[in-house]
Structure 1
Amino acid sequence: MSIMTNQTPAQQTRSWHATAVEELCAQLDADAQAGLRQEDAARRLRQYGPNELPEAPPTSILTLLLSQFTSVIIWVLIGAAVISGWLEDWIDAAAILAIVLLNGLLGFIQEYRAEQSLAALKRLSMATAKVLRNGTVRSIPARELVPGDLVLVEAGDQVPADIRLTYVAGFQTQEASLTGESTPVQKSSEGLAGKDVPLAERANMVFMGTVAVSGKARGLVVETGMRTELGRIAAMIQTAAEAERTATPLQRRLEQFGYTLLWLALGVVAVVFLLGELRGEPPVAMFLTAVSLAVAAVPEGLPAIVTITLALGVTRMVKRQALIRKLPAVETLGSATVICSDKTGTLTKNEMTVTRLFMDGQVFEVTGEGYQPDGDLKPVEAAAAWAGERHGSGSTEPPPGIRELLTASALCNGATLQQEDGTWRVLGDPTEGALLVAAAKLNLWKDELESRCRFIGEVPFDPQRKMMTVVRQAGSEVTAYVKGAPDVLLSRCTDLMTLDGKREPLTDEVRQRILRANDAFARDALRVLAMAERPGLEMPPALTSDALERDLLFLGLAAMKDPLRPEAKVAVQVCREAGIRTVMITGDHKDTAVAIARDLGILDGDRAALSGVELDRLSDEQLGARIERVGVYARVSAEHKLRIVKAWRSRGAVVAMTGDGVNDAPAIKEADIGVAMGITGTDVTKEASDMVVMDDNFASIAAAVEEGRGIFDNIRKTIHFLLSCNVSEVLVMLFATLIGLPLPLLPIQILWMNLVTDGFPALALAVDPKAPGLMRQPPRRPDDRLLDRGRLLAIGGQGLMMAVIALGAFAYCLYGLGQNLEQARTVAFTVMVLVQLVHAFNCRSADHSLFRLGVTTNPQLLLAFGLSLGAQLGILLVPAAASLFKAGPLPLADWGLIALLSLLPFVIMELWKFFRSCKADMKPTG
């Protein structure tokens, strides 16, 4: 029978787990005992192609480089550089071109690195695989695997393809990078009912790129290459990479701003030139003046200042454990309205911890969190449960029954607890690791116990039995230690151990008490395991489940959880106050996710939780309608995460998506800002991301949001300062032309003014300390302009104020004092420079007085003021420079006038802020 090829990859992927082995063999024309014949495998390799993830055709380096120069504002700057060169202002021209090239180079490097995600995905493929062909085991390159191949996998192997298991022996895989499941998954070979079983629950399947952590298995390859689950994720990433990436909010605002500047520059040239012509001014002189004003109207330092501001923000973020890979992401995170966060390791510690023990009707608390074996044991109920002596660490010596319970936990255990570089780590199943840590807290170390209790044999965990058993011998005593699901294990017990170590019959009443305790732990989202033992076995014992797992002595229950990060709850609250919604997306079970979300404050009010199966039943329109009411998504796949991000973005949200596994990569690439985990994150996720959280901590994301908001606030201050200054220069020339005054400024003076005021003061504003209450403000709307109506009016009003002051000084000196034109121009030139430098202090806040902010809280601005003032004085006092800039000598009275007029903008703005604050205080608060 030939292989069925009329199904789509998605259909095939969803049905293999529900297919019986016999039917599977028929569909694949395969042999579950001897494997394929070599000639059949060669034919299928030609038919299906290599079992690998092909990289997308790389974008050429030249295309990437040229794409950095398509922005409107970049073209405006290039035009300004050409004009500056034509005016022989080579310094300005060189500075502008350097800015353009620097920004292009930075963007090129960032995009080149971002294209490496598919290469990282390809590295996840196995180099070799063990297969049965012609009845013989052989090792072949994994790229040569074909559907129907019979593959052998054991602990430590990376799964080379999507495989339907036909035989397992205590087999577990770690699928966190693909499904989000935080603990190893126990596998079986039994068929599953229903085609809509979530990916994380397909116990008879293993998937390409996951890792076997224990046991052995054998199975038939059902999908290879791009048809695997990993391949489908690679296709989604490739699609997202090939699609045009939506511009970030800052990029969109700067693009709008660029168009505005373009029309403004053209308008300035036209108006000033035409007015000069009407007045009979020499055409060449008016053209030079108009072009100089056009250059002055464009704040050529803006891209450099934005880049430097973002770069400095990146440096600050690194100190707060957030590594930015793409500079615009800094501001984007600051405007985020939704953070879709993974649970394990981000909101929780990803360190399973035993927190409760139940024995003989009593509940005990185990203190301490994580894998550090530091903690105490104390009774929660019946405080007089035991009385004992105090030992060195200050805790109470536990009774014999508790010691036996934890001894069984350590001996019926396949994990290892070890210390590396001062950090405790668990090798193996995190659940078993938690039991080892609990035992170690009472000085019961596995290696010491094993030195006294020799290993005899094991009956591995089986999903049908829901138990595992280890047989050990201490002296002449042989004991079977058993752990498993409480309800199943309890049915195999006939007696129980009391706290003082005695054996008593297990009555129905006691059984119900134990089951009630188990239910109570489960309601608190704790994972519960029961421990039992069967001492006095004969040698050699029969190593079968039927022989060992009966007539057991019940010891107790151990309840554990992955503890919350203590700072995560605070960070969620901070985000809430900032108007940012936190959504939990996890591969864990729904009940566990809901309990943790409630503890964190993510799930409250009428917000609901959805599982992956429930999500599949919703159309995109239905999901979009419900998206704002859902706070938790559980048991989700890569496609689900991608749908969730798209649904939020379709509602106009700015979405930050966090994750660590391969299954998170498509959603991370789709989000406005993708956040990868630095410790547990895969290479694929990191390469697809815009930001990497180095400590895997949600609190670091909240800190990055604050930094992003502060950076945008400072960029807006800088733009406000640059535009108000440039508007004042344009208005001075425009008003002088309109009212018939001689030109108060020469082209070279305009260009110098633009250079000396657009440089250091603007950069100093870009590093202004963050405003108080920044995280108590709502996020900016994605469609908000860089400059709203109120700020545009303020820019125009402040530009007009400075223009009137400078033009008034020019007219007063020319007509009131009877000075010559050169001297009057020098006064107007100097006043214009100084009022702009003073105005930089006004721009630190639109609402708060400089004295409230603190004059010295921005030392960079004080330094910039001093440097720019020194440069201006230098060109006035050095004869050669004064001659170049057509500046005449000034008497002492003129210097007094200049000093007085230069302070006027500060006085006016301080009075304006004072009256505004008084008006705000008078408003009724109810």
Structure 2
Amino acid sequence: MINEREIEMGLTQVEAERRLKKYGPNLFEKKKKVSPVKIFLSQFNDFITWVLIAATVISGFMGEKADAVTIIIIIIMNSVLGFAQEFKTEKSLEALKNMASPTSKVIRDGKIKVINAENLVVGDLVVIESGDKIPADCMLVEDSNFMVDESLLTGESQGVSKNSRKGDNTIYMGTILLTGNGKARVIGTGMKTEMGKIAGMLESIDKDTSPLKEKLNNLGKVLVILCIIVCAIVTVTGIMRGEDKYEMFLLGVSLAVAAIPESLTAIVTVALALGVSRMLKRNALIRKLPAVETLGCTSIICSDKTGTLTENKMTVKAMYFNGRMYSMERGRIPENTMLKKIFTYCNDCKFDIDKKSISDSLIGDPTETALIKAYFDDTKSLKNFLDKANRIYDIPFDSDRKMMSVIVKEGNDEICYVKGAPERIIKRCRYVLDRGQVTILSLNEKNKILKAIEDMSYNALRCIGGAYKKRNLVKGRSIEDDLIFVGIAGIIDPPRKEAKDAVLECKMAGIRPVMITGDHKNTAFAIGHDLDICKSQSEVITGEELDKLTDEQLLKQVENKVIFARVTPRHKLRIVRAFKSKNKVVAMTGDGVNDAPAVKEADIGICMGISGTDVTKEASSMVLLDDNFATIVSAVEEGRVIYDNIRKFIRYLLSCNLGEVLTMFLASAFNLAIPLLPIQILMVNLATDGLPAIALGVDPPEGDIMKEKPRKKNESIFARGLTEKILVRGGLIGTCTVFSFVVGQYYGFGLRTARTMALATLIMSQLVHVFECRSENHPIFQINLFGNKYLLGAISVSICMVLAICYVPFLQTVFHTSPLNLIQWCIVIFFSGIIALINSLYLYFK
């Protein structure tokens, strides 16, 4: 048996660390990670690449050793870029997985600590509350109203009651506490748990495949087929004209390598992973990658009030009892012993006896700590007060009842103390305590109390009512019926300073902010009005009013309601479904176990990282690490940025690849000499496809990104004219490259120099185009060209490559190039930049 001291003290930190080293972490055995070497080798696992390698081997045997070596080097360099992208993605996802790992509350050295669940050891004392996932196999040592969902183990959906004083006191890893709270001693961790034996625990981070990535994967397959057909036409046409068969075969394969956008899905993954990492820095933890895409479509943000729109720093400002209102601002409230007992005994917050200051000592819900701080200045006086009574039973607070009750033994008496929403409590009250006398609660007295609640709530005070009764006051009735009403505490929770700006930003972005709260209608309106969420009381609706509406009537109501007050989790689910029926993309916040259905139903389910239960975190797409509404808005902005950046590099990659294919196709169609050799085509691919495209994936947002309306959820990535932009710009890149080649020949510069001019034009036009891709609505001279340092670095590398192959004698031999003079460079720059200039003038005047 575990004694009282062990329950209070738990293990020492030193002993816990010793056991962790000896027995290992509380984790399941995982499959071995793919090694970096395998990731690198997988870059070569591509049919086109193997054909190119085979061709270069043949080229080596035929005496073209320089070409063969260079092509192999380029293949390796491309593979290194691919490896870097994939390795970065794996590392990012692994880091996110570690961040999302579950935590547990344990008692060590007599103090409650929050640790990663993987650091639990046998013998640890775990504190478990309603909605928590059980972190290891444990034996209950202290419990109240303990009901566990064991469906993950047994398949039975009905909750199972557990009791530390009976034989059914074992709880299992992965199961969920539905109601109650308690303490339990860990008896098994990791693979030695029941869940470990059947390998049943789910991972915290879902490795969902991004829908966008799937679509682009399918698009890539179509493009591969089209590119191979075009390359085959170019190859066959050249052979029919009498060109060398081997040279044309190598040319076709090289063109396929350059034209096929093999890095498309890889860069999407990198962009998503990097975006998720940026969100993490802004306190938004993405659990499911598809949520990143959906965030940019968000048109409704349904947010809790307390702690999200408000500071969650509760302070008691007023109290009502004995028929009078007392303000804390006028000094200390007159002592009311019964109200003091209710708010102190009927309270789940913990305190550290070693800390003298009550503010530093208290651990728990801010509402409950505020009630304690209203009566006590130091921990010693609080402990002395608590020692006068023994709490023997409790009914924990839940969002449907909106009440909490405890039965306390004081001497020979058993007294039930109740606190919660005052309107709910009043309905259960039969009596009232007035200046020490218990009298029947008359209609007149009830109206006075309701008027006090109205006055408090109009001043944005959160109202907490208090009542009590002796357990045997009316035998045979529920312990929460026939109560004696005592009074109300009015608690201020000021709006977050940043919330008002975030609400304004939402409205400018075409997103409707919606407040959902369990607070009184007037309190919710006062806060909502202060934050500019609403203008009039007509925009507020209560849970009671919702219950009277049919689903069809609710659909009409949600059009003009922005505050939902005194709602329960089941109301949240109805609200989400109503908005979704209106084709809105809904983000919904939640924390309690009962919020999980609504969070799961929403397009973006958001769980509170500080107050959220494990159940709700499992159901969510995103976790707010700071429980802040402004963080949701930041995440929406980041979602828009990520999607825009994906569009940017899709536009860039496909335009450039189309330009490369058309260069060769047009030359073949007009019976021109081959404008680019195989080795030169591969060089274009290396210089333009890798680093610039990746740099676009981390492009900073345009200044007006949060002034645009949300895009539609089912909108194609190629919507809003992107297909036309790709086709037109790709066609012009190919045409201008051919013109540069023809001009070079026309002026008698020689075939080698003309090819060098075509090569430089093709690369430089793509590098100019990458700047155009940074904005879909603004001309190039309105874009901050120095706004993306990574892009500047990538372009600098690409330009250095062009200059090197033109002017370094060894590289001239390898790439079959000639040094270009000033006139030739002017021709290259003209054909590289004229399209961008015309396009920018068009956008400017448009």
- What TM-score, normalized to structure 2? 0.68
Residue 897 of structure 1 corresponds to: 827
Residue 277 of structure 2 corresponds to: 315
2:388 to 455, 477, 483: 455
Q: How far is 1:696 from its partner?
A: 2.1
Q: Say whether 1:720 aligns with 2:720.
A: no
CA contact (8 A) 1:77 1:100 kept: no
Whole-angstrom distance in 2 between the partners of 1:660 and 1:329: 18
Q: Say whether 1:708 aligns with 2:639.
A: yes
Q: Say whether 1:90 aligns with 2:72.
A: yes
CA contact (8 A) 1:345 1:696 kept: yes
- Pick closer, same or farther for the CA change 1:670–1:284 going to 2, 3 Å: farther
CA contact (8 A) 2:159 2:178 kept: no
Q: Say whether 1:794 aligns with 2:759.
A: no
Residue 529 of structure 1 corresponds to: 465
Whole-angstrom distance in 2 between the partners of 1:507 and 1:604: 30
Equivalent runs, 1:353-502 vs 2, <5 Å? 353-358=315-320, 363-365=325-327, 377-378=328-329, 397-398=331-332, 401=334, 418=351, 424=360, 426-427=362-363, 432-440=368-376, 444-445=377-378, 447-448=380-381, 455=388, 491-493=431-433, 495=435
CA contact (8 A) 2:558 2:579 kept: yes
Secondary structure of 1:712's counterpart equals helix
Secondary structure of 1:827's counterpart equals helix
Whole-angstrom distance in 1 between the partners of 2:669 and 2:161: 89
Q: How far is 1:883 from its partner?
A: 1.0
Q: After superposing the two structures, state which structure 1 stretch, 716-725 or 259-268, moved more.
A: 259-268
* Alignment gaps of 5+ in structure 2: 1-27, 57-70, 103-116, 119-131, 143-151, 184-193, 420-424, 475-482
- Pick closer, same or farther for the CA change 1:576–1:607 going to 2, 3 Å: farther
2:762 to 789, 807, 832: 832
After superposition, what is the alpha-carbon deviation per residue over 1:483-540, rounded to whole angstroms, capped at 9, x for unaligned?
A: 875688794445479xxxxxxxx9998886455324544787843435899xxxxxxx
Whole-angstrom distance in 2 between the partners of 1:897 and 1:145: 74
Whole-angstrom distance in 1 between the partners of 2:658 and 2:339: 77
1:823 to 753, 773, 789: 753
- What TM-score, normalized to structure 1? 0.63
CA contact (8 A) 1:578 1:777 kept: yes
- Pick closer, same or farther for the CA change 1:494–1:128 going to 2, 3 Å: closer
CA contact (8 A) 1:408 1:481 kept: no
Q: May I ask how many residue pairs the two structures share in their alignment? A: 717
Whole-angstrom distance in 2 between the partners of 1:595 and 1:606: 9
Equivalent runs, 1:118-197 vs 2, <5 Å? 123=134, 127-128=138-139, 152=163
CA contact (8 A) 1:84 1:92 kept: no
Whole-angstrom distance in 2 between the partners of 1:354 and 1:272: 80
Q: Say whether 1:291 aligns with 2:302.
A: no
Residue 180 of structure 2 corresponds to: 211
2:296 to 334, 341, 348: 334
Whole-angstrom distance in 1 between the partners of 2:502 and 2:553: 30
After superposition, what is the alpha-carbon deviation per residue over 1:792-828, rounded to whole angstroms, capped at 9, x for unaligned?
A: 222222223322322222111212x212211211111
1:737 to 661, 664, 668: 668
CA contact (8 A) 1:81 1:97 kept: no
CA contact (8 A) 1:652 1:782 kept: no
Secondary structure of 1:210's counterpart equals strand
- Pick closer, same or farther for the CA change 1:700–1:518 going to 2, 3 Å: closer
Secondary structure of 1:127's counterpart equals strand
Residue 517 of structure 1 corresponds to: 452
> What amino acid maps onto 1:82 in structure 2?
W
Whole-angstrom distance in 2 between the partners of 1:329 and 1:794: 28
Equivalent runs, 1:834-913 vs 2, <5 Å? 834-913=764-843
- Pick closer, same or farther for the CA change 1:431–1:670 going to 2, 3 Å: closer
Secondary structure of 1:439's counterpart equals coil
> What amino acid maps onto 2:50 in structure 1?
V
Secondary structure of 1:212's counterpart equals strand
- Pick closer, same or farther for the CA change 1:750–1:328 going to 2, 3 Å: farther
Q: How far is 1:268 from its partner?
A: 1.6
- Pick closer, same or farther for the CA change 1:439–1:94 going to 2, 3 Å: same
Secondary structure of 1:529's counterpart equals strand
After superposition, what is the alpha-carbon deviation per residue over 1:385-407, rounded to whole angstroms, capped at 9, x for unaligned?
A: xxxxxxxxxxx5447x3788986
Equivalent runs, 1:455-854 vs 2, <5 Å? 455=388, 491-493=431-433, 495=435, 513-514=448-449, 516-518=451-453, 520-521=455-456, 526-529=462-465, 557-560=488-491, 565-568=496-499, 570-581=501-512, 588=518, 601=533, 614=547, 632=564, 634-636=567-569, 654-664=585-595, 672-686=603-617, 689-788=620-719, 790-815=721-746, 817-854=747-784
Whole-angstrom distance in 1 between the partners of 2:428 and 2:543: 29
Secondary structure of 1:559's counterpart equals strand
> Percent identity at matched positions?
35
Q: How far is 1:878 from its partner?
A: 1.6
CA contact (8 A) 1:333 1:705 kept: yes
CA contact (8 A) 2:297 2:711 kept: yes
- Pick closer, same or farther for the CA change 1:425–1:250 going to 2, 3 Å: farther
Whole-angstrom distance in 2 between the partners of 1:866 and 1:454: 73
Q: How far is 1:686 from its partner?
A: 3.9
Residue 78 of structure 1 corresponds to: 46
CA contact (8 A) 2:216 2:264 kept: no
CA contact (8 A) 1:814 1:821 kept: yes
CA contact (8 A) 1:159 1:212 kept: no
CA contact (8 A) 2:599 2:605 kept: yes
Whole-angstrom distance in 2 between the partners of 1:579 and 1:279: 59
- Pick closer, same or farther for the CA change 1:454–1:802 going to 2, 3 Å: closer
- Pick closer, same or farther for the CA change 1:876–1:612 going to 2, 3 Å: farther
Q: How far is 1:128 from its partner?
A: 3.2
Whole-angstrom distance in 1 between the partners of 2:324 and 2:639: 51
After superposition, what is the alpha-carbon deviation per residue over 1:520-577, rounded to whole angstroms, capped at 9, x for unaligned?
A: 44787843435899xxxxxxxx99869xxxxx99986423476655544543453344
CA contact (8 A) 1:337 1:654 kept: yes
Secondary structure of 2:676's counterpart equals coil
Secondary structure of 2:606's counterpart equals strand
Whole-angstrom distance in 2 between the partners of 1:466 and 1:694: 27
Whole-angstrom distance in 1 between the partners of 2:178 and 2:378: 34
Whole-angstrom distance in 2 between the partners of 1:144 and 1:913: 64
* Bigger Rg over Cα: 1
Residue 63 of structure 2 corresponds to: none
Secondary structure of 2:745's counterpart equals helix
CA contact (8 A) 1:659 1:665 kept: yes
Whole-angstrom distance in 2 between the partners of 1:664 and 1:493: 36
Equivalent runs, 1:255-274 vs 2, <5 Å? 255-274=217-236
* Alignment gaps of 5+ in structure 1: 1-57, 132-141, 162-176, 179-206, 215-224, 227-233, 366-376, 379-395, 474-479, 498-505, 534-541, 547-551, 917-926
Q: How far is 1:887 from its partner?
A: 1.0
Residue 166 of structure 1 corresponds to: none
CA contact (8 A) 2:134 2:177 kept: no
Whole-angstrom distance in 2 between the partners of 1:487 and 1:622: 28
